[in-house]
Amino acid sequence: MNIDKRLESIVNEIDGDTLVDVGCDHGKVTFEAIKRGKVNKVIATDISQKSLDKCVKLINKANIQNVEFRCGDGLSVVKDNEADVVCIAGMGGYEIIKILSNAPKGIKKLVLCPHHDVQALRLYLQNSFKIEKDYAVHVDDHFYNLIVAKVGKDSLSEKEVLLGRDNISNEDYVGLLNALKEKYYKILALDIPPERLDECERCVRIIEGELCGSKKDI
């Protein structure tokens, strides 16, 4: 199966006994996780039966065993201690927070790929999870943040909340910095409240500082 760099990165980070693939949709993560032996079992869930059926079709066509399909909202269809690793991709940070706030017991590892509001997600995670990896993946002119976390506590710096923890050695880091710089300059051009202005200016200073450091390393 052909998968893009984002999905490849997600699958590479998965390991454990039983995976919950939340919002499984097409089923590619479920498929690859089982085929590569990353986990022994997958619980594939989706709030849409129509979307879940796409996953069912793919898995059945490939004659893959050890996959359960459950239609429902987030992790609400998973019982305590049924799974030890969760993958959530293709949703916003606040939606992921909502899903994780109702997580069953026994979850030890998270593999998350939020499409936006990643800073809010990082702040939420540090209360119950230790972020082990947090880096950007560049696909088709878009930067996706990939977060891998395990149960524990964390304390993130302002720079880590903004940029992630492991981007400094990431080949896509400079591109991410320039994309974020452009985003914040556009915000600063708007008529925004003073507190929002101060926040954006701090972010720009951090980003420009990183860009200067990156140029020195070249």
Domain ranges in the chain are 5-155, 174-217
Distance in angstroms (rounded) separating the CA atoms of residues 86 and 19: 6
- Examine the pLDDT at 189 and tell me if it is beyond 50: yes
For 139-188, the pLDDT digits (tens) are: 998 999 999 999 999 999 999 999 998 876 678 889 999 999 999 999 99
For 36-86, the pLDDT digits (tens) are: 999 999 999 999 999 999 999 999 999 999 999 999 999 999 999 999 999
- Which pLDDT value is given to residue 133? 94
* Mean pLDDT (the chain, rounded): 94
Tokens read off for 69 = 């399909």
- Which pLDDT value is given to residue 199? 93
State in words which class domain 5-155 has: alpha beta
Distance in angstroms (rounded) separating the CA atoms of residues 67 and 76: 17
Find out whether 29 and 52 touch, Cβ atoms under 8 Å. Answer: no
Distance in angstroms (rounded) separating the CA atoms of residues 7 and 81: 26
- Which pLDDT value is given to residue 218? 43
Tokens read off for 40 = 């022994």
Distance in angstroms (rounded) separating the CA atoms of residues 198 and 132: 30
Q: What is the DSSP letter of 167?
A: G
The count of residues in the chain is 218
